[in-house]
Amino acid sequence: MGKFVIECPKCGHYTEAKTGFFAKKKIDCVCGNVIDIRTDKLSSRVCPHCGNNVVFDQSKGADAMCPVCKNPINTMALQNKTVEFSCKQCGVRHRAVKGASTYVCPVCDHVNDVAERLKTEEIRKDGLASIIKYEGDNETLVWKHPIEDFNYGSQLIVHESQEAIFYRDGQALDLFGAGRYTLETQQLPILEKLYKLPTDTEGTFHSEVYYVNLTTQMGIKWGTDTKVRLFDPMTGMHVELGASGEFNIRVVNSRKFLLKVVGTTGGFKQDQLMGLGGKSYFRSMVMTQVKSYLAAAIRENSINVLEIDERLLELSEALRDRINPRLAEYGLEMPEFFVNRVVTPDDDPNFRRMKEQFAQQYLDVREEQIKKNIAVATAERKAVEAQTEAQMKIIGAQGDAEALKIQKQAEAEAYRMQAAAEAEEMRMKGYTQKDVFQTEVQKSYAGALGQMGANGGGGGLGDVAGLGVTLGAMGGIIGMTKEAMAPMMNMSAEPAATGWDCSCGARNIQSKFCPDCGGKKPEPQTADTWDCPECGAKGITAKFCGECGCKKPAPPAAWDCPECGAKGITAKFCGECGCRKPEPPATWDCPNCGNKDITAKFCPECGHKKG
């Protein structure tokens, strides 16, 4: 069982304690405080070696080490290094360990800041305060410097996020922004009016310095302590709601905040705004504003209670705009106010009926919308069907014309192929169509002569006479028959004037197709005549009109149909499928080489790009 000394967290005196299973867990201090060994054995102290405020275990005695610099922090030599100071409230002299941060006066129970008391007594003794700077944390809105006696020539340091105000007798005096200042008479114009300032640099003056933190204090929680009763404008029912959330706040007018809120107190912490664990300054005001304006905002903006979660941003902005004018009177501002949650009374009969009404209303609206969508879809379907039917009729008409065209083309091709086949067969056998025709005529003549012999009388002499007569008359009959049939069959002793020569070598062809190669008879060349558009003269074959001298107009440009393939069209629409004549491509002149009427994107001469 080992012994060690433990520091009383209330008065700072040391009391002997023991370690071990049977040792006392609680001991009494001379100040009356009961020290709990299990919890109070952990203490904080400023390490005399590295200067850091650290936590160590007092039960380890002299073996306790600083967790930062690893040097002994609880030896008897260090414990014997004590400091002496007066209580700020009652003035009683006390002695505490040099590294202690606070000391509770056993006479008046005032919590003394050991460092502040030592610094104050040092100033009183030496009359100096060389550096004045902020030593609070970021959650502190206002921090009062512990020293109140300053020497002219001292340095005042103010950070970017702060303002320093000199304060005396409850009145805010000079205000300093960010920077480093030397306290001289020209730097303190208002103080100079209140004090008879000395001209030497060793003179001192008594004043209080407050540092105001201008940073935005984030995440301050709020919540309604009771339900807010309101009238729902959508259903006409009364419901009770609760709300909670967070807000951010900052000081915008340091002088006003000090005069109206802080006064001459030692500072102002963030938790004092809403009274979390202490005195509340603004909780009642914020809660009253929230309760009043929450119901008003819901009514003014016609917000449905059942849909309030999707309107939280709108509610938050409305409440912030209502609360900020009141905070401005104290030099504060809420840049953001958030309503994070709205508690609805799920067990309230009115709220249940409200949900049922809303559900029925939603179903009715949804059903009406479905009917409307069906009607619109039906109308659109009918319109599409009518349009499709009209298009099918047009396509059918075009299809019939196209089918007829294909049929005629097929018939012409079949006829041409048949004629070509017959001509090829005749050529291979060595005769022409004229030979076939003459053969048929001769057969007809022979048949006629045979008939005449059969009708003659007598025996052999008669037959011979008949034969002689027949042979004698045959030439005349053939000649007369040939002359009689020549106009109908285009036959004559001389070649017909309407015969034509084929490119394959066949000559004097009488049919439309060549019997040797099947080639079609060329169309007869007609004289190229034109009518004068000026005087009306007709059938002109020259280049100029003989009546008025007007020049022959240029023939219209022909084009080929891109749809059906018809060629040589001069009209604006195709006669086969009705396709419109395509617009001629736009042409351009090359600015680089001077080439004209170019239709491509690049000049074929120099490669210059269009445009």
Share of the chain above pLDDT 90, in %: 4
Residue 463 has pLDDT above 60, yes or no: no
In this structure, are residues 191 and 207 in contact, taking their beta carbons and an 8 Å threshold?
A: yes
Q: Are residues 225 and 332 in the same domain?
A: yes
What are the pLDDT digits (tens) for 48-90?
Answer: 666 677 787 877 877 888 888 788 877 766 666 778 888 888 8
Q: Are residues 1 and 122 in the same domain?
A: yes
Q: Are residues 32 and 84 in the same domain?
A: yes
Name 13's Cβ contacts closer than 8 Å, sequence gap at least 6. 7, 29, 30, 31
pLDDT at 334: 92
Residue 344 has pLDDT above 70, yes or no: yes
pLDDT at 180: 87
> Which one of 155-159, 200-204, 434-438, 475-479 scores highest in mean pLDDT?
155-159
Q: Are residues 15 and 103 in the same domain?
A: yes
Residue type at position 199: T
Q: Is 232 part of a structural domain of the chain? A: yes
Q: Are residues 341 and 420 in the same domain?
A: no
User: Cα separation of 422 and 143, whole Å?
Assistant: 124
pLDDT at 525: 59
- What is the biggest distance separating any 2 CA atoms in the chain, rounded to whole angstroms? 194
- Of 126, 159, 180, the one marking the end of a domain is 126
* CATH number of the domain bearing residue 282: 3.30.479.30
Q: Are residues 324 and 427 in the same domain?
A: no
Residue 600 has pLDDT above 50, yes or no: yes
* Tokens coding 47: 């390490």
Q: Is 368 part of a structural domain of the chain? A: no
Q: Is 213 exposed, middle or buried (0-12, 13-18, 19+ CB in 10 A)?
A: buried
Q: Are residues 260 and 330 in the same domain?
A: yes
What are the pLDDT digits (tens) for 272-288?
Answer: 777 654 567 788 888 88
Of residues 211 and 167, more confidence is placed in 211
Residue type at position 219: G
Other residues' Cβ atoms within 10 Å of the Cβ of residue 290? 24
Q: Is 93 part of a structural domain of the chain? A: yes
- Of 494, 519, 544, the one marking the end of a domain is 519
Residue 456 has pLDDT above 60, yes or no: no
Q: Average pLDDT for residues 292-310, to the nearest whole number?
A: 78
Q: Is 476 part of a structural domain of the chain? A: no
- Of 317, 345, 373, the one marking the end of a domain is 345
Question: DSSP letters along 202-271, please?
Answer: T-EEE-EEEEEE-SPEEEEEEE-SSPEEEE-TTT--EEEEEEEEEEEEEES-HHHHIIIIITTSSEEEGG
Share of the chain above pLDDT 70, in %: 77
Could you give the count of Cα atoms lying within 13 Å of 382 in the half-sphere of its Cβ?
5
Number of domains in the chain: 4
Q: Is 498 part of a structural domain of the chain? A: no
pLDDT at 163: 92
pTM: 0.43
> Which one of 10-14, 156-160, 474-478 scores highest in mean pLDDT?
156-160
User: Cα separation of 452 and 343, whole Å?
Assistant: 134
Residue 526 has pLDDT above 60, yes or no: no
Q: Which residues pair with 171 in a beta bridge?
A: 168
Q: Are residues 256 and 316 in the same domain?
A: yes
Q: Average pLDDT for residues 386-400, to the nearest whole number?
A: 77
Q: Are residues 119 and 234 in the same domain?
A: no
Q: Is 335 part of a structural domain of the chain? A: yes
Look up tokens 């014309």; give the residue. 401
**Torsions phi, psi for 239 (to 5 deg):** -135, 165
Q: Are residues 5 and 66 in the same domain?
A: yes
Q: Is 484 part of a structural domain of the chain? A: no
Domain containing 566: what range? 555-611
Q: Are residues 2 and 119 in the same domain?
A: yes
User: Cα separation of 166 and 150, whole Å?
Assistant: 11
Residue 488 has pLDDT above 70, yes or no: no
Q: Is 212 part of a structural domain of the chain? A: no
What are the pLDDT digits (tens) for 213-244?
Answer: 998 888 888 888 888 877 776 666 777 788 88
The confidence band for 335, taking pLDDT boundaries of 50, 70 and 90, is very high
Look up tokens 């303190």; give the residue. 188
Lowest mean pLDDT across 186-190, 226-230, 244-248, 580-584: 186-190
pLDDT at 426: 73
Q: Are residues 335 and 423 in the same domain?
A: no
